[in-house]
Structure 1
Amino acid sequence: MNTGRRWFWGSFFIVGAVVLVLSQLGLLPYQFGFWRILFGIFMVAIVVFSLAHRGITGTVFGLAALVILFAKPLGVTALGPWTILGVALLVTIGLSLILNPHHYFNYHYQYRQTNNWHHGQQATERMTTDEAQTRVSVNMGTSIRYLQSQDFQRADVWVRMGDAKLYFDDVQLNPAGAVIDLNVSLGGAELYLPRTWPVKIAVDSNLGGVEEKGSHTPDAGPTVVIQGRLSLAGLTVVYV
Protein backbone atom coordinates (compact mmCIF):
# COMPACT_ATOMS: atom_id res chain seq x y z
CA MET A 1 0.00 0.00 0.00
CA ASN A 2 1.45 3.36 -0.95
CA THR A 3 1.90 6.26 1.48
CA GLY A 4 -1.30 8.06 0.46
CA ARG A 5 -3.45 5.00 1.05
CA ARG A 6 -1.75 4.25 4.35
CA TRP A 7 -2.54 7.77 5.54
CA PHE A 8 -6.12 7.59 4.29
CA TRP A 9 -6.99 4.23 5.85
CA GLY A 10 -5.01 4.93 9.00
CA SER A 11 -6.84 8.24 9.47
CA PHE A 12 -10.17 6.59 8.63
CA PHE A 13 -9.89 4.01 11.40
CA ILE A 14 -8.56 6.58 13.88
CA VAL A 15 -11.60 8.78 13.19
CA GLY A 16 -13.76 5.68 13.60
CA ALA A 17 -12.20 5.10 17.02
CA VAL A 18 -12.91 8.71 18.00
CA VAL A 19 -16.55 8.41 16.90
CA LEU A 20 -16.86 5.20 18.90
CA VAL A 21 -15.51 6.86 22.06
CA LEU A 22 -17.71 9.96 21.63
CA SER A 23 -20.76 7.75 21.18
CA GLN A 24 -20.06 5.79 24.35
CA LEU A 25 -19.53 9.06 26.28
CA GLY A 26 -22.89 10.38 25.12
CA LEU A 27 -21.36 13.32 23.24
CA LEU A 28 -23.10 12.65 19.94
CA PRO A 29 -26.62 13.90 19.06
CA TYR A 30 -27.83 10.31 18.84
CA GLN A 31 -26.80 7.41 21.03
CA PHE A 32 -25.93 4.08 19.46
CA GLY A 33 -24.75 0.78 20.81
CA PHE A 34 -21.09 -0.23 20.65
CA TRP A 35 -21.58 -2.96 18.06
CA ARG A 36 -23.82 -0.80 15.89
CA ILE A 37 -21.11 1.87 15.67
CA LEU A 38 -18.37 -0.70 15.06
CA PHE A 39 -20.35 -2.44 12.34
CA GLY A 40 -21.16 0.94 10.80
CA ILE A 41 -17.45 1.79 10.61
CA PHE A 42 -16.74 -1.42 8.74
CA MET A 43 -19.67 -0.79 6.40
CA VAL A 44 -18.27 2.63 5.55
CA ALA A 45 -14.91 0.96 4.82
CA ILE A 46 -16.63 -1.49 2.47
CA VAL A 47 -18.41 1.34 0.66
CA VAL A 48 -15.16 3.29 0.23
CA PHE A 49 -13.32 0.17 -0.97
CA SER A 50 -16.14 -0.68 -3.40
CA LEU A 51 -16.20 2.84 -4.79
CA ALA A 52 -12.44 2.75 -5.31
CA HIS A 53 -12.81 -0.47 -7.29
CA ARG A 54 -16.05 0.61 -9.03
CA GLY A 55 -17.93 -2.23 -7.37
CA ILE A 56 -21.64 -1.58 -7.72
CA THR A 57 -22.91 -4.36 -5.45
CA GLY A 58 -20.60 -3.58 -2.54
CA THR A 59 -21.31 0.14 -2.78
CA VAL A 60 -25.10 -0.11 -2.95
CA PHE A 61 -25.56 -2.83 -0.34
CA GLY A 62 -22.99 -1.20 1.94
CA LEU A 63 -25.01 2.00 1.82
CA ALA A 64 -28.20 0.01 2.38
CA ALA A 65 -26.69 -1.57 5.49
CA LEU A 66 -25.79 1.89 6.80
CA VAL A 67 -29.34 3.12 6.20
CA ILE A 68 -30.73 0.12 8.13
CA LEU A 69 -28.28 0.66 11.00
CA PHE A 70 -28.96 4.38 11.31
CA ALA A 71 -32.56 4.62 10.13
CA LYS A 72 -33.67 6.78 13.08
CA PRO A 73 -31.26 9.72 12.69
CA LEU A 74 -31.77 9.53 8.92
CA GLY A 75 -35.53 9.79 9.39
CA VAL A 76 -36.37 6.66 7.37
CA THR A 77 -37.78 4.42 10.10
CA ALA A 78 -40.93 4.01 7.98
CA LEU A 79 -38.87 1.91 5.60
CA GLY A 80 -38.34 -1.61 6.92
CA PRO A 81 -35.05 -3.49 6.43
CA TRP A 82 -36.53 -5.70 3.70
CA THR A 83 -37.79 -2.65 1.81
CA ILE A 84 -34.33 -1.08 1.95
CA LEU A 85 -32.69 -4.30 0.80
CA GLY A 86 -35.23 -4.63 -2.00
CA VAL A 87 -34.48 -1.10 -3.14
CA ALA A 88 -30.75 -1.89 -3.01
CA LEU A 89 -31.28 -4.97 -5.17
CA LEU A 90 -33.26 -3.04 -7.79
CA VAL A 91 -30.71 -0.21 -7.82
CA THR A 92 -27.88 -2.71 -8.21
CA ILE A 93 -29.59 -4.41 -11.16
CA GLY A 94 -30.40 -1.07 -12.76
CA LEU A 95 -26.89 0.31 -12.45
CA SER A 96 -25.41 -2.98 -13.67
CA LEU A 97 -27.53 -2.83 -16.82
CA ILE A 98 -26.72 0.83 -17.40
CA LEU A 99 -23.01 0.74 -16.73
CA ASN A 100 -22.35 -2.82 -17.97
CA PRO A 101 -19.63 -3.46 -15.37
CA HIS A 102 -18.68 -6.91 -16.71
CA HIS A 103 -17.52 -5.33 -19.95
CA TYR A 104 -15.68 -2.65 -18.00
CA PHE A 105 -13.81 -5.06 -15.75
CA ASN A 106 -12.98 -7.48 -18.55
CA TYR A 107 -11.63 -4.67 -20.70
CA HIS A 108 -9.42 -3.21 -18.00
CA TYR A 109 -8.30 -6.65 -16.84
CA GLN A 110 -7.03 -7.42 -20.33
CA TYR A 111 -5.52 -3.95 -20.61
CA ARG A 112 -3.59 -4.45 -17.37
CA GLN A 113 -2.30 -7.83 -18.47
CA THR A 114 -1.24 -6.90 -22.01
CA ASN A 115 0.12 -3.42 -21.35
CA ASN A 116 1.55 -3.85 -17.85
CA TRP A 117 -0.68 -0.99 -16.70
CA HIS A 118 -0.71 -0.06 -13.01
CA HIS A 119 -3.00 2.19 -11.05
CA GLY A 120 -1.47 2.71 -7.62
CA GLN A 121 -1.25 -0.73 -6.01
CA GLN A 122 -4.45 -2.05 -7.58
CA ALA A 123 -2.94 -3.78 -10.62
CA THR A 124 -3.39 -7.52 -10.91
CA GLU A 125 -0.38 -9.58 -9.91
CA ARG A 126 0.13 -12.88 -11.75
CA MET A 127 2.87 -15.21 -10.55
CA THR A 128 3.94 -18.84 -10.88
CA THR A 129 5.35 -20.33 -7.69
CA ASP A 130 7.40 -23.52 -7.39
CA GLU A 131 7.88 -23.82 -3.64
CA ALA A 132 6.92 -26.30 -0.93
CA GLN A 133 5.83 -23.40 1.26
CA THR A 134 4.51 -20.14 -0.12
CA ARG A 135 3.04 -16.88 1.15
CA VAL A 136 0.56 -14.61 -0.59
CA SER A 137 0.04 -11.09 0.72
CA VAL A 138 -2.52 -8.77 -0.89
CA ASN A 139 -3.33 -5.18 0.07
CA MET A 140 -6.06 -3.41 -1.93
CA GLY A 141 -5.35 -5.34 -5.11
CA THR A 142 -5.60 -8.73 -6.78
CA SER A 143 -3.08 -11.56 -6.78
CA ILE A 144 -3.25 -14.67 -8.99
CA ARG A 145 -0.82 -17.47 -8.16
CA TYR A 146 -0.20 -20.66 -10.12
CA LEU A 147 1.51 -23.19 -7.87
CA GLN A 148 3.67 -25.91 -9.44
CA SER A 149 5.32 -27.44 -6.37
CA GLN A 150 6.23 -31.13 -6.40
CA ASP A 151 6.21 -31.26 -2.57
CA PHE A 152 3.56 -28.78 -1.48
CA GLN A 153 3.30 -28.40 2.29
CA ARG A 154 1.85 -25.02 3.20
CA ALA A 155 0.42 -21.76 1.86
CA ASP A 156 -0.19 -18.68 4.00
CA VAL A 157 -2.71 -16.34 2.39
CA TRP A 158 -3.07 -12.83 3.85
CA VAL A 159 -5.62 -10.53 2.20
CA ARG A 160 -6.77 -7.04 3.22
CA MET A 161 -9.32 -5.28 1.01
CA GLY A 162 -8.41 -7.33 -2.04
CA ASP A 163 -8.73 -10.67 -3.76
CA ALA A 164 -6.44 -13.68 -4.07
CA LYS A 165 -6.76 -16.60 -6.49
CA LEU A 166 -4.58 -19.67 -6.05
CA TYR A 167 -4.44 -22.52 -8.54
CA PHE A 168 -3.24 -25.89 -7.18
CA ASP A 169 -4.12 -28.09 -10.17
CA ASP A 170 -0.41 -28.55 -11.06
CA VAL A 171 0.73 -29.45 -7.54
CA GLN A 172 1.88 -32.66 -5.86
CA LEU A 173 1.11 -32.90 -2.15
CA ASN A 174 3.61 -33.81 0.51
CA PRO A 175 2.84 -37.36 1.77
CA ALA A 176 2.03 -35.91 5.20
CA GLY A 177 -0.55 -33.54 3.70
CA ALA A 178 -0.64 -29.76 3.51
CA VAL A 179 -2.15 -26.69 5.17
CA ILE A 180 -3.64 -23.59 3.57
CA ASP A 181 -3.85 -20.92 6.25
CA LEU A 182 -6.11 -17.94 5.49
CA ASN A 183 -6.34 -14.51 7.05
CA VAL A 184 -8.81 -12.57 4.91
CA SER A 185 -10.71 -9.40 5.80
CA LEU A 186 -12.80 -7.12 3.59
CA GLY A 187 -11.89 -9.23 0.58
CA GLY A 188 -12.04 -12.69 -0.90
CA ALA A 189 -10.00 -15.80 -1.63
CA GLU A 190 -10.54 -18.41 -4.33
CA LEU A 191 -8.77 -21.76 -4.17
CA TYR A 192 -8.74 -24.05 -7.22
CA LEU A 193 -8.01 -27.57 -5.98
CA PRO A 194 -7.88 -30.95 -7.74
CA ARG A 195 -11.17 -32.71 -7.17
CA THR A 196 -9.42 -35.87 -5.98
CA TRP A 197 -7.75 -34.19 -2.99
CA PRO A 198 -9.21 -34.96 0.44
CA VAL A 199 -10.02 -31.53 1.86
CA LYS A 200 -10.94 -30.44 5.39
CA ILE A 201 -12.31 -26.90 5.75
CA ALA A 202 -11.93 -25.53 9.28
CA VAL A 203 -12.03 -21.74 8.97
CA ASP A 204 -13.37 -19.34 11.58
CA SER A 205 -15.83 -17.09 9.77
CA ASN A 206 -16.87 -13.74 11.23
CA LEU A 207 -19.49 -12.14 8.97
CA GLY A 208 -18.04 -14.15 6.10
CA GLY A 209 -19.00 -17.10 3.97
CA VAL A 210 -17.58 -20.31 2.54
CA GLU A 211 -18.70 -21.79 -0.78
CA GLU A 212 -17.64 -24.99 -2.54
CA LYS A 213 -18.06 -25.42 -6.29
CA GLY A 214 -17.52 -28.36 -8.62
CA SER A 215 -17.59 -32.11 -8.12
CA HIS A 216 -15.48 -33.29 -5.18
CA THR A 217 -14.43 -36.96 -5.43
CA PRO A 218 -11.59 -37.39 -2.92
CA ASP A 219 -9.29 -40.39 -3.06
CA ALA A 220 -7.22 -41.95 -0.27
CA GLY A 221 -4.27 -39.54 -0.62
CA PRO A 222 -2.93 -36.96 1.85
CA THR A 223 -5.35 -34.38 3.22
CA VAL A 224 -5.33 -30.62 2.69
CA VAL A 225 -6.53 -28.62 5.69
CA ILE A 226 -7.94 -25.17 4.97
CA GLN A 227 -7.87 -23.15 8.16
CA GLY A 228 -7.65 -19.57 9.38
CA ARG A 229 -10.06 -16.67 9.71
CA LEU A 230 -12.49 -14.75 7.51
CA SER A 231 -13.71 -11.31 8.59
CA LEU A 232 -16.27 -9.65 6.35
CA ALA A 233 -14.81 -11.82 3.61
CA GLY A 234 -15.57 -14.79 1.41
CA LEU A 235 -13.85 -18.06 0.58
CA THR A 236 -14.63 -20.05 -2.57
CA VAL A 237 -13.17 -23.53 -3.03
CA VAL A 238 -13.42 -24.69 -6.65
CA TYR A 239 -12.73 -28.36 -7.42
CA VAL A 240 -11.26 -28.85 -10.88
Structure 2
Amino acid sequence: MKQRWFWGTFFLVSAIVLVTSQLGVFSYHVGIWTLFLTIALIAIIVTSLRNLIMSSLVFAIALLAIIYAKPLGITALVPWTILGAALLLSIGLSILVHPRWKIHGGAHRNWHGHFDHERTSTQTIDEPNVNLDLSMSNSIRYIHSTDFNGANLHVSMGGAKIYFDDVQLRHAEATITVDISLSGVELYLPKTWQVQLNVDNSLGDITINGTPTTAGPVIYLQGRVSLGQLSITYI
Protein backbone atom coordinates (compact mmCIF):
# COMPACT_ATOMS: atom_id res chain seq x y z
CA MET A 1 0.00 0.00 0.00
CA LYS A 2 2.80 2.44 0.92
CA GLN A 3 4.61 1.63 -2.30
CA ARG A 4 1.47 2.29 -4.37
CA TRP A 5 0.90 5.65 -2.71
CA PHE A 6 4.53 6.61 -3.18
CA TRP A 7 4.63 5.84 -6.91
CA GLY A 8 1.22 7.40 -7.48
CA THR A 9 2.40 10.62 -5.84
CA PHE A 10 5.72 10.46 -7.68
CA PHE A 11 4.09 10.37 -11.11
CA LEU A 12 1.57 13.09 -10.18
CA VAL A 13 4.43 15.38 -9.13
CA SER A 14 6.29 14.43 -12.31
CA ALA A 15 3.30 15.53 -14.38
CA ILE A 16 3.25 18.90 -12.58
CA VAL A 17 6.99 19.36 -13.13
CA LEU A 18 6.58 18.51 -16.81
CA VAL A 19 3.86 21.11 -17.35
CA THR A 20 5.50 23.89 -15.30
CA SER A 21 8.88 23.36 -16.96
CA GLN A 22 7.33 23.91 -20.38
CA LEU A 23 5.63 27.10 -19.10
CA GLY A 24 9.03 28.58 -18.21
CA VAL A 25 8.47 28.57 -14.45
CA PHE A 26 11.96 27.23 -13.82
CA SER A 27 14.97 29.38 -14.64
CA TYR A 28 16.77 26.44 -16.25
CA HIS A 29 14.83 25.12 -19.23
CA VAL A 30 15.10 21.49 -20.32
CA GLY A 31 13.64 19.76 -23.32
CA ILE A 32 10.66 17.48 -22.90
CA TRP A 33 12.62 14.32 -23.73
CA THR A 34 15.36 15.29 -21.30
CA LEU A 35 12.70 15.76 -18.65
CA PHE A 36 11.15 12.36 -19.37
CA LEU A 37 14.60 10.77 -19.09
CA THR A 38 15.20 12.62 -15.81
CA ILE A 39 11.94 11.33 -14.35
CA ALA A 40 12.80 7.77 -15.40
CA LEU A 41 16.28 8.03 -13.86
CA ILE A 42 14.87 9.39 -10.60
CA ALA A 43 12.46 6.45 -10.51
CA ILE A 44 15.41 4.08 -10.97
CA ILE A 45 17.33 5.83 -8.17
CA VAL A 46 14.40 5.51 -5.76
CA THR A 47 13.84 1.84 -6.62
CA SER A 48 17.55 1.09 -6.33
CA LEU A 49 17.77 2.79 -2.93
CA ARG A 50 14.79 0.80 -1.63
CA ASN A 51 16.29 -2.48 -2.77
CA LEU A 52 20.00 -1.64 -2.36
CA ILE A 53 20.85 -2.32 -6.01
CA MET A 54 24.09 -0.39 -6.15
CA SER A 55 24.90 -0.70 -9.87
CA SER A 56 21.54 0.76 -10.93
CA LEU A 57 21.79 3.52 -8.34
CA VAL A 58 25.31 4.65 -9.26
CA PHE A 59 24.80 4.63 -13.03
CA ALA A 60 21.45 6.44 -12.80
CA ILE A 61 23.14 9.20 -10.78
CA ALA A 62 26.03 9.27 -13.25
CA LEU A 63 23.66 9.71 -16.20
CA LEU A 64 21.90 12.57 -14.38
CA ALA A 65 25.30 14.19 -13.77
CA ILE A 66 26.09 13.95 -17.50
CA ILE A 67 22.70 15.38 -18.52
CA TYR A 68 22.95 18.32 -16.09
CA ALA A 69 26.72 18.86 -16.25
CA LYS A 70 26.32 22.52 -17.27
CA PRO A 71 24.09 23.77 -14.41
CA LEU A 72 26.11 21.63 -11.97
CA GLY A 73 29.33 23.21 -13.22
CA ILE A 74 31.05 19.90 -13.98
CA THR A 75 31.47 20.19 -17.74
CA ALA A 76 35.22 19.65 -17.24
CA LEU A 77 34.41 16.05 -16.38
CA VAL A 78 33.87 14.47 -19.76
CA PRO A 79 31.19 11.72 -19.87
CA TRP A 80 33.75 8.91 -19.96
CA THR A 81 35.32 10.15 -16.73
CA ILE A 82 31.97 10.14 -14.97
CA LEU A 83 31.05 6.70 -16.36
CA GLY A 84 34.46 5.29 -15.46
CA ALA A 85 34.12 6.55 -11.89
CA ALA A 86 30.57 5.14 -11.79
CA LEU A 87 31.83 1.72 -12.88
CA LEU A 88 34.47 1.66 -10.13
CA LEU A 89 31.96 2.87 -7.52
CA SER A 90 29.43 0.28 -8.69
CA ILE A 91 31.91 -2.58 -8.33
CA GLY A 92 33.07 -1.40 -4.91
CA LEU A 93 29.57 -0.83 -3.53
CA SER A 94 28.26 -4.10 -5.00
CA ILE A 95 30.97 -5.95 -3.08
CA LEU A 96 30.14 -4.14 0.16
CA VAL A 97 26.34 -3.90 -0.16
CA HIS A 98 24.10 -6.69 -1.42
CA PRO A 99 20.52 -6.36 -2.74
CA ARG A 100 17.87 -6.55 -0.04
CA TRP A 101 16.06 -9.87 0.07
CA LYS A 102 13.77 -10.49 3.03
CA ILE A 103 12.97 -14.09 3.91
CA HIS A 104 10.70 -14.88 6.84
CA GLY A 105 10.54 -18.16 8.70
CA GLY A 106 14.15 -19.35 8.77
CA ALA A 107 17.59 -18.70 7.39
CA HIS A 108 17.49 -21.48 4.78
CA ARG A 109 15.83 -21.32 1.40
CA ASN A 110 12.38 -22.91 1.47
CA TRP A 111 10.38 -23.79 -1.63
CA HIS A 112 7.19 -22.72 0.13
CA GLY A 113 8.62 -20.09 2.48
CA HIS A 114 7.05 -16.72 3.26
CA PHE A 115 8.63 -13.71 1.60
CA ASP A 116 8.09 -9.99 1.96
CA HIS A 117 5.87 -9.65 -1.11
CA GLU A 118 6.00 -5.86 -1.06
CA ARG A 119 9.68 -6.18 -1.93
CA THR A 120 10.14 -9.61 -3.46
CA SER A 121 7.99 -12.01 -5.43
CA THR A 122 8.79 -15.71 -5.61
CA GLN A 123 7.75 -18.44 -8.00
CA THR A 124 8.65 -22.01 -8.93
CA ILE A 125 8.83 -22.72 -12.66
CA ASP A 126 8.50 -26.25 -14.00
CA GLU A 127 9.02 -25.88 -17.74
CA PRO A 128 11.64 -27.20 -20.20
CA ASN A 129 11.99 -23.75 -21.83
CA VAL A 130 12.07 -20.89 -19.35
CA ASN A 131 11.20 -17.35 -20.44
CA LEU A 132 11.40 -14.61 -17.80
CA ASP A 133 10.66 -10.92 -18.29
CA LEU A 134 11.12 -9.02 -15.03
CA SER A 135 10.97 -5.24 -14.73
CA MET A 136 11.15 -2.79 -11.80
CA SER A 137 10.79 -5.49 -9.16
CA ASN A 138 12.70 -7.92 -6.98
CA SER A 139 12.07 -11.56 -7.83
CA ILE A 140 13.22 -15.01 -6.80
CA ARG A 141 12.65 -17.85 -9.26
CA TYR A 142 13.25 -21.55 -8.65
CA ILE A 143 13.63 -23.56 -11.85
CA HIS A 144 12.33 -27.07 -11.20
CA SER A 145 12.48 -29.08 -14.42
CA THR A 146 13.17 -32.72 -15.30
CA ASP A 147 13.52 -31.86 -18.99
CA PHE A 148 15.33 -28.50 -19.05
CA ASN A 149 16.22 -27.26 -22.52
CA GLY A 150 17.19 -23.60 -22.06
CA ALA A 151 16.25 -20.18 -20.70
CA ASN A 152 15.80 -16.57 -21.80
CA LEU A 153 16.12 -14.11 -18.93
CA HIS A 154 15.30 -10.42 -19.40
CA VAL A 155 15.67 -8.25 -16.29
CA SER A 156 15.50 -4.46 -16.31
CA MET A 157 15.59 -1.95 -13.46
CA GLY A 158 15.26 -4.57 -10.76
CA GLY A 159 16.86 -7.53 -9.07
CA ALA A 160 16.54 -11.29 -9.50
CA LYS A 161 17.80 -14.47 -7.88
CA ILE A 162 17.35 -17.52 -10.11
CA TYR A 163 18.07 -21.05 -8.86
CA PHE A 164 18.87 -23.87 -11.30
CA ASP A 165 20.02 -26.39 -8.69
CA ASP A 166 16.93 -28.63 -9.08
CA VAL A 167 17.20 -29.10 -12.84
CA GLN A 168 17.74 -32.15 -15.03
CA LEU A 169 18.84 -31.45 -18.60
CA ARG A 170 17.11 -32.82 -21.68
CA HIS A 171 20.46 -33.08 -23.52
CA ALA A 172 24.12 -32.89 -22.56
CA GLU A 173 24.08 -29.15 -23.18
CA ALA A 174 21.75 -26.15 -22.89
CA THR A 175 21.77 -22.39 -23.54
CA ILE A 176 20.88 -19.63 -21.10
CA THR A 177 20.51 -16.17 -22.64
CA VAL A 178 20.51 -13.10 -20.39
CA ASP A 179 19.54 -9.51 -21.11
CA ILE A 180 20.32 -7.44 -18.02
CA SER A 181 20.01 -3.66 -17.88
CA LEU A 182 20.24 -1.45 -14.79
CA SER A 183 19.72 -4.56 -12.66
CA GLY A 184 21.40 -7.06 -10.39
CA VAL A 185 20.95 -10.73 -11.29
CA GLU A 186 22.25 -13.73 -9.35
CA LEU A 187 22.31 -17.17 -11.01
CA TYR A 188 22.74 -20.25 -8.82
CA LEU A 189 23.99 -23.20 -10.86
CA PRO A 190 24.90 -26.82 -10.09
CA LYS A 191 28.62 -27.45 -9.62
CA THR A 192 28.53 -30.10 -12.36
CA TRP A 193 27.64 -27.53 -15.04
CA GLN A 194 30.52 -26.48 -17.28
CA VAL A 195 29.62 -22.89 -18.13
CA GLN A 196 30.89 -21.37 -21.37
CA LEU A 197 30.58 -17.63 -20.74
CA ASN A 198 29.95 -15.40 -23.77
CA VAL A 199 28.23 -12.31 -22.36
CA ASP A 200 28.72 -8.77 -23.69
CA ASN A 201 29.56 -6.52 -20.74
CA SER A 202 28.73 -2.83 -21.26
CA LEU A 203 29.71 -0.82 -18.16
CA GLY A 204 28.59 -3.69 -15.93
CA ASP A 205 30.09 -6.22 -13.56
CA ILE A 206 30.27 -10.02 -13.88
CA THR A 207 31.43 -12.15 -10.94
CA ILE A 208 31.84 -15.91 -10.49
CA ASN A 209 31.67 -17.55 -7.07
CA GLY A 210 32.81 -21.11 -6.48
CA THR A 211 34.41 -23.68 -8.75
CA PRO A 212 32.63 -26.28 -10.92
CA THR A 213 33.62 -29.93 -11.11
CA THR A 214 35.88 -31.05 -13.94
CA ALA A 215 33.16 -32.93 -15.83
CA GLY A 216 29.49 -32.42 -16.57
CA PRO A 217 27.01 -30.97 -19.08
CA VAL A 218 27.95 -27.84 -21.02
CA ILE A 219 25.91 -24.68 -20.48
CA TYR A 220 26.30 -21.81 -22.94
CA LEU A 221 25.66 -18.57 -21.04
CA GLN A 222 25.28 -15.75 -23.55
CA GLY A 223 23.65 -12.33 -23.95
CA ARG A 224 24.49 -8.92 -22.52
CA VAL A 225 24.87 -6.97 -19.30
CA SER A 226 24.33 -3.22 -19.60
CA LEU A 227 24.86 -0.97 -16.58
CA GLY A 228 24.15 -3.91 -14.31
CA GLN A 229 25.61 -6.80 -12.37
CA LEU A 230 25.60 -10.54 -13.10
CA SER A 231 26.68 -12.95 -10.39
CA ILE A 232 27.18 -16.68 -11.04
CA THR A 233 27.37 -18.95 -7.99
CA TYR A 234 28.01 -22.70 -8.09
CA ILE A 235 26.09 -24.62 -5.40
Say whether the fold is shared (TM-score over 0.5). yes
Select 2:73's aligned residue among 69, 72, 75. Answer: 75
Report the CA distance shift for 1:133/1:76 in structure 2 as closer, same or farther (over 3 A). Answer: closer
Q: In terms of mean alpha carbon deviation, does 51-60 or 201-210 score higher? A: 51-60
Matches within 5 A, 1:1-240: 44=42, 46-53=44-51, 59=57, 62-63=60-61, 66-67=64-65, 70-75=68-73, 105=100, 109-110=103-104, 118-119=117-118, 122=119, 124-219=120-215, 221-240=216-235
Report the CA distance shift for 1:45/1:206 in structure 2 as closer, same or farther (over 3 A). Answer: farther
Q: In terms of mean alpha carbon deviation, does 164-173 or 58-67 score higher? A: 58-67
Distance (Å, rounded) in 2 between the aligned partners of 1:116 and 1:66: 34
8 Å CA contact retained: 2:48, 2:158? no
Report the CA distance shift for 1:56/1:151 in structure 2 as closer, same or farther (over 3 A). Answer: closer
Q: Which runs of 5+ in 1 are unaligned?
A: 17-27, 31-36
Secondary structure class of the residue paired with 2:170: coil
Give identity over the alignment, percent.
40
CA RMSD of aligned residues (A): 4.5
Distance (Å, rounded) in 2 between the aligned partners of 1:187 and 1:218: 31
Name which structure has the greater RCO, CA cutoff 8 Å, separation 6+: 2
Secondary structure class of the residue paired with 1:175: coil
Report the CA distance shift for 1:137/1:5 in structure 2 as closer, same or farther (over 3 A). Answer: farther
Deviation at 1:48, TM superposition (A): 3.6
Report the CA distance shift for 1:152/1:50 in structure 2 as closer, same or farther (over 3 A). Answer: same
Distance (Å, rounded) in 2 between the aligned partners of 1:117 and 1:190: 19
Greater share of helix: 1
Deviation at 1:149, TM superposition (A): 1.5
* Runs of 4+ displaced beyond 6 Å: 39-42, 77-82, 113-116
Deviation at 1:105, TM superposition (A): 4.5
TM-score by length of 2: 0.63
Distance (Å, rounded) in 2 between the aligned partners of 1:114 and 1:128: 12
Aligned to 1:34: none
TM-score by length of 1: 0.62
Report the CA distance shift for 1:40/1:159 in structure 2 as closer, same or farther (over 3 A). Answer: same
Match of 1:148, as an amino acid?
H
8 Å CA contact retained: 2:163, 2:188? yes
Distance (Å, rounded) in 2 between the aligned partners of 1:187 and 1:144: 14
8 Å CA contact retained: 1:197, 1:218? no
Match of 1:110, as an amino acid?
H
Deviation at 1:43, TM superposition (A): 5.5
Secondary structure class of the residue paired with 1:216: coil
Match of 2:229, as an amino acid?
G
Distance (Å, rounded) in 2 between the aligned partners of 1:139 and 1:229: 16
Greater share of strand: 2
CA offset digits 1:141-187 (Å, max 9, x no partner): 12212222122111111112111211112212222411111112111
Aligned to 1:25: none
Q: Which runs of 5+ in 2 are unaligned?
A: 19-27, 106-111
Deviation at 1:216, TM superposition (A): 2.3
Aligned to 1:21: none
Q: In terms of mean alpha carbon deviation, does 54-63 or 182-191 score higher? A: 54-63
Q: In terms of mean alpha carbon deviation, does 50-59 or 163-172 score higher? A: 50-59
Report the CA distance shift for 1:131/1:118 in structure 2 as closer, same or farther (over 3 A). Answer: closer
